[in-house]
Chains A and B, each alone.
Chain A
Amino acid sequence: MTTVVTTAPTRQTTLRRVIGSPLTARILFPFAVLAVWYLIYYTIDSRIFPTPQQVAVFMWEEVTLTSGVRYSSVAENLYVQFAISLVRLTIGFFVAMIVGTVVGLAMGLSKAVDAFFHDWVMAILAMPALVWALFLGLAFGFGHEAPILAVILSGIPFVIINVREGVRNTPKELFDMARAFEVPQNKITRHVLLPSLMPFFFAAIRYAYAIGWKGLVIAEVFGSDRGMGWTIKFWYDAHRAHGVIGYALFFIIFALALEKLVFDPLANKAFKWRPKIDAVEMAEGDFGAVRSEAFLLAESQEVGEGVPMTSMEGESRNG
């Protein structure tokens, strides 16, 4: 009797704990999505809306290359399209990183350069990728140039802003101390400037890659005849909903894998010695960035005002 009384509640509480745990909720989420999917399937008046099985079969056929679909262009399957997009993204990303770092460093170090470029960087930041896609597609035709340039133009403002913030955030007192102890310049660069720049640099890499990818697929829709963006548009134009949803799922899987397997570990490494920067704030700057920019500008002006005051004190003391 007593054993039954004691075991029953514990079993119940463990069950309750399992059901109530966040992990269970997380696992339940895909099933809820499936339920909503079926709900839409049975209520919507559409002849092309697919069941999850149809989409799963489509995705499996694409992955195993057994679908028999031959795209009209040279590139024929998921892997080739994906590789083309990734190569474009990587080239554009590296160009954006190099140019953006140079401009960002210059903007962080010199107020004149900052004033010169600031408004234009903000303008590029606020530009919808659609504008780049339409214009570059017309200007360069259906080659590699338009998508690569779209990646550069979408990613570069994030690199510039992050690198500039990094330079501004270098601890001034450490510099002063290094100078007071006559540490050589290359050592200052390696041990003071670079480590304090690192987190911002990683943020720049992360968002240049992620935003570049978003810009790339839109450019491929309007200004290319191959690549992942082009492929999802192919299925849209063919009015095959299972193709569109299947490729949308490929996109999501890719983005999640990139986030979890590449950027999260990288970020953890880069931010280990520092409190985390608000990821969303850095990621989705746009109009918001204009304001925080303005705020940072005001802040830097205060710092700037502080400098002449001390130097003047020194002057008056000398005099």
Chain B
Amino acid sequence: MEEVGGRQPTHLLNRLSQQEDPVATTLEQTAPAARSAEEERLIALKKRETRQKWFWRIAGYVVVLGVWEFLSGRMLSENLLPGPTRILQTFPELIESGRFFSSFAATLTRIGVGFGLAFLFGAILGIFTQNRWIDGFFKDATTISLVSPGLIWALTGLVIWGFEPTGWIFAIFMTTFALVTVNIAEGIRALPKDLIDMSKAFGVSNWRRQREIVLPSLAPFIFTGLRFGFSIGWKVTVLTEVFSSNEGIGFEMRVSSQLFRMDEFFTWVLSFFVFALILEKLVLQRYENKFFRWRAEVV
């Protein structure tokens, strides 16, 4: 009783102040100034913290790149470990040579086809693992795919199918499908059953239910599967190119290391990272933001 009685007046007061009486506003005028002082101190503290963070971050870059630059030509031969400056010099040369974009196109085609099929199969399998029999049937396949090294699939696929696309598709497929399956299965297990039941009770159409409940709650799991699968598939793709291709990033890495052109080799590594960063920041994150816009409203 007391609690309720204690609460109501403050509630009323809040409502009163919201109506903005002339008296209330004059009374409050001192308060915002005090609050802003505290806020300013907080903002300053936060600023100092981010400044410190950036300082240490940049210090990290400077130290690592500095040690690298120092090592090259002094501790290790410059031919073996070219410094960051030399790699930056080779970068535009590589782009000018025209091999840069064709290699990326070749690698992307491979990963697009291989991982595309793996994603499709993995997603369907993830949906069907709701059935316990199918789950039991594919259980060992998923485990094997998760724990065995990509190298064995690359070599097995290539020794059987040679340079045919089946070889590398097999390798990429076997290393990535299980990641998608596991994530989708997890997502389906986490579907909000109560919301679905409620929408059924209120006669919401099946199509709307799928679009507005199932898809949004599955989306994070789909994205996780996409991301992990892509990053693993990327590594396997590069590996298959070493053994069975005459173009692509993996092939270029192999050739440049065989010809002992390490500056070119590291430039390919660098471009790999630049590409991964672009893909992550510009493509995946943008789509994700689009998908999760509804979440911001909740927060």
Contact = CB atoms under 8 A, between A and B. Distances in A.
Nearest to B52: A112
Contacts of B78: none
Interface of A: 20-26, 28-30, 32, 40, 44, 46, 48-49, 111-120, 123, 126-131, 134-135, 138-139, 210, 213-214, 217-218, 221, 229, 232-233, 236, 239, 241, 244-245, 247-248, 251-252, 255-256, 258-259, 278, 280-281, 283-284, 286-288, 290-291, 304-305, 308-309, 312, 316
A250 B140 CA distance: 15
A236 B158 contact: yes
A131 B183 contact: no
29 contacts: A22-B139, A24-B136, A29-B137, A32-B137, A46-B160, A115-B60, A118-B60, A126-B276, A127-B269, A128-B238, A128-B272, A130-B250, A134-B253, A138-B262, A139-B80, A139-B81, A210-B147, A217-B152, A221-B151, A232-B152, A236-B158, A245-B159, A248-B156, A256-B147, A280-B179, A284-B179, A286-B232, A287-B230, A290-B280
**Across the A-B interface, the 10 shortest Cβ-Cβ residue pairs:** A22-B136, A286-B231, A25-B136, A115-B56, A25-B137, A116-B60, A248-B152, A288-B227, A214-B149, A128-B235
Nearest to B236: A128
B234 interface: yes
Contact of A217 (B149, B234, B257, B279): B149
B57 interface: yes
B115 interface: no
A189 to B, nearest CB: 26
A20 B250 CA distance: 45
Contacts of A113: 56
Interface of B: 38, 41-42, 45-46, 49, 52-57, 59-61, 63-64, 76, 80-81, 132-141, 143-144, 146-153, 155-156, 158-162, 179, 182-183, 186, 224, 227-228, 230-232, 234-235, 238-239, 242-243, 250, 253-254, 257, 260, 262, 265, 269, 272-273, 276, 279-280, 284-285
B257 A138 contact: yes
Given A248-B152, A287-B230, 10 more contacts: A26-B140, A49-B160, A112-B52, A127-B269, A130-B238, A134-B257, A258-B147, A259-B147, A286-B227, A312-B38
A25 B134 CA distance: 7
Considering residues A116, A119, A120, which has the most beta carbons from chain B within 10 angstroms of its beta carbon?
Answer: A116
A229 B152 CA distance: 9
Contacts of A21: 133, 136
A26 B132 CA distance: 10
Nearest to B79: A138
Contacts of B260: 138
A232 B151 contact: yes
B259 to A, nearest CB: 11
Contacts of A44: 160-161
A248 B159 CA distance: 12
Given A25-B137, A126-B231, A259-B143, A241 B276 contact: no
B129 to A, nearest CB: 10
A112 B243 CA distance: 43
Given A236-B158, A259-B147, A251 B227 contact: no
Given A25-B134, A130-B242, A251-B149, A312 B42 contact: yes
Contacts of A236: 155, 158-159, 243
